[in-house]
Structure 1
Amino acid sequence: MEPSLYQYRPSNYSGIANTPFTDTMSTPSPTDSAPPPLDATPAHALGDFIRAHRERLSPQAVGLPPGPRRRTPGLRREEVAQLCGVSPTWYTWIEQGRPVSASADALARIAVALQLSRAERAYLFELAAQRDPAEPDPAAADAPATLLETVQLVNAPAYVLDRQWNALAWNERAADLFVGWLDGDHDRNLLRFTFTEPTARELIVDWETRARRLAAEFRADSIRHLTDAPTRGLIDTLTGTSDAFARFWASQDVGEREGGRREFNHPRDGRVVFDQITFKPAHREDLKLVVLVRE
C-alpha cells in the first residue's frame, strides 16, 4: 500500500449495499502458503482506523442479535467481513496492516458496513490512497454559482480557478491588476499566462522564483488528475512552448499552494504589493478562490 499524497477530499456517498458478494480480486488465494508480512506504515494506519470503527459499532446497529457475551467490543471481524461480502481472512489481514490489495470497491463496502460518516469515509480512502467510486468527478460538475458570484462581493482582486487553473470568474479589481491575463480578450489559464505571455515577466516581480514555485504547486495540485486529458494536454503544451516550464517541471519540485507576499510592477500604478490567500470550497477542492489583499 502506498502512502497517500493528497489532501482530504470529502465525498457525497450515501446508501448501503443490500446484497453481499465476494471480492474475488482481493480474497487470498487458497494456494497461498503464508500470509504477507506485516507492514509498518500506511497499511498499518489503515488497519488501525478500520479496527477502531469496528469496535465502536454494536451488533444491534447493523441488525445482528447481540448473541453471547463478547470478548471484544463492537462487531467481530467475521461479522464485518460478512457484511462486506469479503473473506474473513482478507478482512483480518487488512486490519492487521498487511500489504494486501484493497480495491476501491472493497473499501466502499467496508465504509458502508462500518457506517462511516462522510468525513470518515473520505479519510478511509485517503489512507488507502484510493479514489472513492461514489465521489462525483469534479470535472463533470459545474462550479457552484454561489462561488462564482462571491468574487464580485470581494473588495479586493479575487478570482476562481478550476483544476487546470483556468480562471472561471474574476472581479474588476483582478482584471485591473492582472494585465494580459484577466483584462481584455486573453487566454484565461494562469500557467499559460505566466509562462508564455511576455507581459507576465514584466508584471510579476522576481518572475523566475514565482514561476518556479507555480510549477511546483501545480505538480502537487494536479497529482490526482495528472493523466486526465485536459491536464496532460496542458502540461505537454507548456513543456513544448516554454523552456522555463519544461525545466521547472523536469526538476520534480513539489510545493503546497502558499499565500503570502506578492509583488507586481503594474503598468499604471507602479510597484504594488499584496498578501495572497487561497480558499478551497467544501466538497469542491478542485476549485480555488484566490484573494489578494493590498498591503
Structure 2
Amino acid sequence: MTTTAQETPPARKAARGRQGSPSAVRRHELAAFLRHRREHVTPEQVGLPRGVRRRTPGLRREEVAQLSAVGVTWYTWLEQARNIQVSVQVLDSLARALLLDSSERAHLFKLAGAIDPAPGAASTGVTDAQRVLLKQLEPLPACVQNSRYDIIAYNRTYALMLCDMDAVPPQDRNCMLLAYTHPEWRTSLPHREEVLRLMAATLRASMAEHLADPAWKMLLHRLRTESDEFVEYWERHEVMGPLDKRKQFHNSRVGLLTLDHTDLWLGPRNGPRLVTYVPVDDETRARLERLHAMATGA
C-alpha cells in the first residue's frame, strides 16, 4: 500500500511519539543544560591549560569526561540526548566537574530523574528542637551526623573546630571525605596516618549494611577517586567498630584540644545522631571558650 502525503508511516509516528515523551524531553533538556554549563566553564577554572588552538568557548567534551572519570563516547551520548542510564555517582562527578552551585546541582539531578543523596541536598530531618539543643551546648562542639558520617547540622564552635565548616559546600560535608581530602581538616589530626587507617576500617564495617545504597556507593566512589591514600587503606580490607572516644585535634586558632567524643542516637541506628565533644581538662575548656568567642564574634 502506497503512503499518501497526508499519511505518516506508523514507525515514524512512533518515533515522533517517543521524541515527545516526558523522558525524551527531559533527556534533551539535560543535554542542553550540560552543553551550556560546559561552554561557560573555562579551562583555568578547573586547572587545565588553555592551549593555543582552542576554539571551544569553554571546556571540550573530552575534558569534561576526563574530569568526571567517564568515557568520552558515553559523555558525548549524554549531550546527544541518547537514552542511556546515568548513576548518581556519575551525576555527582559531573556536578563537581562543571562547578555547579547548589541550585544547578539540584536541577541536574531533577533532569536526570534521580534523587541527590549528597549531604544537604534534601531535607536533613533535623528538628528545630535539635538545633536549639546544638546551640545550648555551646561552647562545647556538637553536630548532627547520619550513619554515613554526613554532617547535617552543627553549632558555631564545631564550625571552627576542624575547619571552616561554613566554607565547605553542603555536598562535601562528610567526615570521611573531609578527613581524606580537606587540607585544614587533615592538618587538625595530630596522628593522621593512624586515624585515617582506622576511619577506612570503620567505614568498611559500616558499609556492609548499605552495599546497594546509592548514597553510600557515591561516597565510596568519591573517596576512591579523590584520595590515593584512602584506596591504600581501603584495599587492606580491615574492619573495625566505633573508634576510641578520646580524640585530639590541633586547631589552627587556639591550639591542641583533647576531648571525649559521645554519640547520642536520635532514632534508628541508620538515622541521625548527636555527636558531642567534652573537654578533658581546664586548658582545653578555656581554648574551646576562645574558639566559641571567635565563631560568634564575641
TM-score (norm 2): 0.48
Task: Decide which structure has greater helix share.
Answer: 2
Q: TM-score, normalised by structure 1?
A: 0.48
